[in-house]
């Protein structure tokens, strides 16, 4: 399959360098914004707007591109003292810019589209030249920034000297996250903005699965879903599945590395069952033995992948499996792809010692 993946804008990256334009790194519960500023020597005072001031995360406001000496928060503003001048960036974390992910998957065409739902609660449009969505576990433990008691425009600056404060600690993880970058995205209007960030082609396979304990009955009931190989690093989110325009349901996608097997489960299938025959070979208090035969048929007009994973609760498990089954620590795993109308029978013997 050629060119199966498109990251809209640019590509999935591992690090982002500083630029002279405004950019934002949006996490599920907060965002870090970098705003360009021109600085003269000595000090500079920032007057954050009310919606932004109330959402700042304590310990995360900083200047990039100069050597900071200290900061003073007073009456609705913060004054930075530093060495250096020229082009720099004001960086801060805000809880009023967040996002969530969801995906659209057409199982008939294999088209997978990732959407980012950006909530702009800052009360004004944001023009961002580079927008990075960051997915993964990124802890944020700081509370709000120092309280702004007066209007920033009514501030009377007090430039009295104060002791230099220690540098803030960034409350996040430097690794173990996925980043998706959009260059020159649309203006983020106040409210909710939905933006596509990923387009890919996958090969979803309709799948039946049984995963559970030893089934003594005459049938196995399968869970239905779709499986495919991840075309890129996929951040977790809800997936809307459709087949030829018909909505099939929503499934949960876990964080998946590129090339990992993605599993999207939708619930029971009325046709998803296997006939089962369990023959008792031994039935003693401390040892039981069975011969088990399972027959599954594909009544659909498309191939179906069948996965059976059974485990046994016993001190010792002795299994005699056919060559197309895999032993697991407490049981076995059997997988087969059935063509339309095809049937397969899987048989094994098991001895359980207690």
**What pLDDT score was predicted for residue 12?**
34
| CB of 149 closer than 8 Å to CB of 39 | no
Instruction: Decide if pLDDT at 174 tops 90.
Output: no
Tokens of 326: 């895999």
What's the whole-number mean pLDDT along residues 80-108?
95
Mean of all residue pLDDT scores within the chain: 86
What's the whole-number mean pLDDT along residues 175-190?
87
What's the whole-number mean pLDDT along residues 194-199?
92
Query: What pLDDT band is residue 6 in, cutting at 50, 70 and 90?
Result: low
What's the whole-number mean pLDDT along residues 258-271?
94
Q: Where are the domains of the chain?
A: 5-100+118-194, 205-353
Instruction: Decide if pLDDT at 191 tops 90.
Output: yes
- Please enumerate in sequence order all residues whose Cβ is within 8 A of that of 124, keeping only pairs 6 or more positions apart, or say none: 49, 51, 190
| CB of 7 closer than 8 Å to CB of 113 | no
Tokens of 259: 């090339």
**What pLDDT score was predicted for residue 62?**
96
More confident residue, 326 or 10: 326
Instruction: Decide if pLDDT at 5 tops 70.
Output: no
Burial 153-163 (b: 16+ CB within 10 A, else e): eebeeeeeeee
What's the whole-number mean pLDDT along residues 41-53?
92
**What pLDDT score was predicted for residue 249?**
96
Asked whether the whole model's pTM tops 0.85, one would answer: no
pLDDT digits 0-9 by tens, 317-334: 999 999 999 999 999 999
Q: Which helix (H) or strand (E) holds 197?
A: strand 191-201
Give, in degrees to the nearest 5, the angle at Cα 206 between 104 and 339.
150
What's the whole-number mean pLDDT along residues 82-109?
94
Instruction: Decide if pLDDT at 151 tops 50.
Output: no
* DSSP secondary structure string for all residues of 113-178: EEEEEEEE-SSS-B--SEEEEEES-------BPSP--S-GGG--------PPPPPPPP-S-SSS-E
Burial of residue 310, with CB atoms counted within 10 A of its CB: 0-12 exposed, 13-18 middle, 19 or more buried: buried
Query: What pLDDT band is residue 41 in, cutting at 50, 70 and 90?
Result: confident
**What pLDDT score was predicted for residue 20?**
42
**What pLDDT score was predicted for residue 4?**
56
pLDDT digits 0-9 by tens, 206-237: 999 999 999 999 999 999 999 999 999 898 89
Burial of residue 12, with CB atoms counted within 10 A of its CB: 0-12 exposed, 13-18 middle, 19 or more buried: middle
Percent of the chain predicted with pLDDT > 70: 86
CA pair distance 137, 235, nearest whole angstrom: 11
Percent of the chain predicted with pLDDT > 90: 72
CA pair distance 237, 53, nearest whole angstrom: 30
**What pLDDT score was predicted for residue 135?**
84
**What pLDDT score was predicted for residue 255?**
87
**What pLDDT score was predicted for residue 188?**
95
Residues in the chain: 354
**What pLDDT score was predicted for residue 21?**
66
DSSP 110: T
Sheet order of strands, 86-94 included: 62-64, 86-94, 31-39, 23-26, 130-135, 178-183
**What pLDDT score was predicted for residue 136?**
78
**What pLDDT score was predicted for residue 7?**
52
Query: What pLDDT band is residue 161 in, cutting at 50, 70 and 90?
Result: very low
- Token look-up 């360009």 returns 36
**What pLDDT score was predicted for residue 137?**
78
Tokens of 171: 């409350």
What is each CA distance from 348 to 1, 222, 275, 298, in whole angstroms?
A: 38, 19, 14, 21
């Amino acid at each position: 399959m050629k060119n199966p993946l498109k990251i809209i804008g640019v590509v999935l990256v591992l690090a982002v360098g500083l630029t002279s334009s405004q950019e934002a790194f949006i996490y599920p519960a907060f965002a870090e914004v970098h705003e360009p500023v021109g600085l003269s020597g000595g000090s500079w005072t920032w007057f954050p707007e009310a919606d932004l001031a109330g959402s700042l995360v304590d310990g995360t406001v900083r200047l990039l591109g100069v050597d900071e000496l200290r900061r003073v928060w007073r009456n609705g503003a913060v004054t930075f003292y530093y060495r250096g001048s020229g082009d720099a960036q004001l960086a801060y974390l805000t809880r009023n810019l967040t996002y969530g992910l969801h995906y659209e998957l057409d199982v008939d065409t294999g088209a997978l589209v990732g959407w980012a739902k950006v909530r702009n609660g800052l009360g004004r449009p944001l023009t961002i030249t580079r927008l990075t969505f960051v997915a993964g576990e990124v802890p944020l433990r700081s509370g709000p920034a120092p309280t702004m008691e007066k209007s920033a425009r009514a501030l009377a600056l007090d430039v009295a000297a104060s002791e230099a404060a220690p540098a803030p600690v960034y409350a996040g993880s430097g690794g173990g996250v996925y980043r998706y970058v959009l260059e020159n995205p649309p203006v983020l209007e106040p409210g909710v903005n939905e933006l596509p960030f990923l387009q890919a082609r996958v090969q979803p396979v309709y799948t039946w699965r049984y995963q559970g304990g030893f089934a003594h009955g005459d049938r196995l009931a399968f869970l239905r879903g779709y499986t495919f190989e991840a075309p890129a690093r996929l951040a977790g989110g809800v997936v809307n599945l459709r087949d030829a325009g018909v909505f099939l349901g929503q499934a949960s996608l876990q964080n998946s590395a590129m090339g990992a097997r993605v599993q999207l489960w939708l619930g029971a299938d009325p046709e998803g069952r296997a006939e089962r025959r369990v023959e008792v070979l031994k039935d003693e208090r401390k040892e039981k033995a069975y011969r088990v035969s399972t027959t599954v048929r594909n009544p659909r007009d498309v191939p179906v992948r069948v996965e059976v994973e059974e485990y046994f609760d016993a001190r010792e498990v002795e299994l005699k499996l056919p060559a197309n089954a895999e032993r697991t620590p407490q049981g076995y795993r059997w997988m087969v792809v059935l063509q339309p109308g095809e049937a397969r029978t899987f048989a094994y013997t098991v001895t359980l010692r207690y």
